[in-house]
């Protein structure tokens, strides 16, 4: 895929704090928010409203277990056209992927609100589930994604070689995917791009202790494959001038992440937001929506198709 030339001025990409801060940028989509997490139970609707006020017009709610996947679908039904869901089992819970749970995930992926299979993959950093169980669960969910024709929402930590080997076995049957919360190095990035993956960038890039390398790497990601996410309630941007007392991350901070990424790439926030939003809608086949949350196309038949990998 052709790499895009980067134009624009870095000065236009200063981080935005909150809806009360600087003017918001163009419409953004948060591709990974754990909105089913219990830390949002007390103010979930307010979190969604704050996101909208900050210009985050759509969000994909991450499913990481059978229970959270069900909740993600329920939330998406309550906010049609604004919230969407993934359905899957995180590698931490790989041992929970029984035949019954896999069948339930299959039913969930048939729901129109579900736009991807996952969060699935491998995590050898924590090893909360045995590695063989993680590999088996990863295989089963990639097979599910191939059957339902939806992209995969991928997790990888300290497991690159096994992760890539398994992914290569299934890649020709898959309708694309995203390397969620990318934190790796140049070799991993090049491998993911060669496989045709989109790359998800979080507030990890805002952490000068462990994410500074991403400031250079984001320049190498083609504009049509760079996606943005908060991964809230985790990964609150470390460089926020005013941090919430709870230290909980939420989609209202996505414009801040976008501004950091845009500055690193040497482009305007507006150009980054436009390209990222278009790429997200193409991969996940989301309807277009404006900043006032008015659907311009709610017919699934008019959504952009996400291409098969080759």
CA-closest candidate to residue 120, choices 107, 111, 104, 133: 133
In this predicted structure, what is the pLDDT of residue 86? 98
In this predicted structure, what is the pLDDT of residue 61? 98
Q: What is the pTM of this model?
A: 0.89
In this predicted structure, what is the pLDDT of residue 243? 94
* Per-residue pLDDT of the chain in tens (310 residues, 90 and over written 9): 333 222 222 333 444 444 444 445 579 999 999 999 999 999 999 999 999 999 999 999 999 999 999 999 999 999 999 999 999 999 999 999 999 999 999 999 999 999 999 999 999 999 999 999 999 999 999 999 999 999 999 999 999 999 999 999 999 999 999 999 999 999 999 999 999 999 999 999 999 999 999 999 999 999 999 999 999 999 999 999 999 999 999 999 999 999 999 999 999 999 999 999 999 999 999 999 865 555 554 333 334 455 455 4
Per CATH, is 20-289 categorized as 3.40.47.10? no
In this predicted structure, what is the pLDDT of residue 289? 80
Establish how many alpha carbons lie within 13 A of residue 168's alpha carbon, considering only the half-sphere containing its beta carbon.
10
Adjacency order of strands within the sheet including 56-61: 28-33, 56-61, 83-87, 114-123, 152-157, 177-179, 198-201, 226-228
In this predicted structure, what is the pLDDT of residue 26? 78
CA-closest candidate to residue 60, choices 100, 116, 142, 105: 116
In this predicted structure, what is the pLDDT of residue 3? 32
Q: Is residue 148 a contact partner of residue 110, using CB atoms and an 8 Å limit?
A: yes
């Amino acid at each position: 895929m052709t790499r895009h030339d980067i134009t624009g001025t870095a000065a236009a990409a200063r981080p935005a704090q909150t809806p009360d801060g600087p003017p918001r940028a163009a419409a953004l989509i948060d591709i990974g928010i754990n909105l089913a997490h219990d830390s949002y139970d007390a103010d979930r609707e307010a979190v969604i409203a704050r996101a909208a006020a900050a210009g985050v017009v759509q969000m994909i709610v991450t499913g990481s277990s059978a229970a959270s996947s069900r909740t993600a679908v329920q939330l998406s039904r309550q906010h049609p056209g604004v919230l969407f869901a993934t359905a899957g089992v995180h590698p931490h819970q790989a041992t929970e992927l029984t035949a019954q749970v896999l069948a339930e995930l299959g039913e969930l992926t048939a729901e129109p609100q579900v736009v991807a299979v996952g969060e699935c993959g491998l995590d050898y950093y924590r090893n909360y589930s045995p590695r063989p169980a993680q590999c088996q669960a990863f295989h089963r969910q990639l097979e599910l994604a191939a059957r339902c024709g939806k992209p995969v929402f991928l997790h990888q930590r300290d497991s690159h070689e096994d992760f890539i080997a398994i992914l290569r076995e299934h890649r020709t049957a898959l309708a694309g995917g995203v390397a969620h919360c990318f934190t790796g190095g140049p070799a991993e990035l090049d491998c993911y791009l060669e496989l045709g993956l989109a790359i998800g960038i979080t507030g990890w890039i805002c952490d000068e202790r462990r994410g500074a390398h991403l400031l250079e790497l984001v320049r190498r990601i083609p504009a049509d494959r760079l996606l943005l996410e908060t991964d809230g309630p985790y990964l609150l941007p470390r460089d926020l001038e005013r941090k919430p007392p709870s230290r909980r991350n939420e989609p209202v901070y996505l414009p801040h992440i976008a501004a950091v990424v845009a500055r690193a790439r040497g482009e305007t926030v507006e150009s980054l937001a436009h390209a990222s939003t278009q790429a997200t809608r193409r991969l996940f086949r989301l309807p277009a929506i404006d900043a006032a949350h008015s659907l311009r196309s709610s017919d699934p038949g008019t959504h952009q198709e996400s291409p098969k990998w080759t």
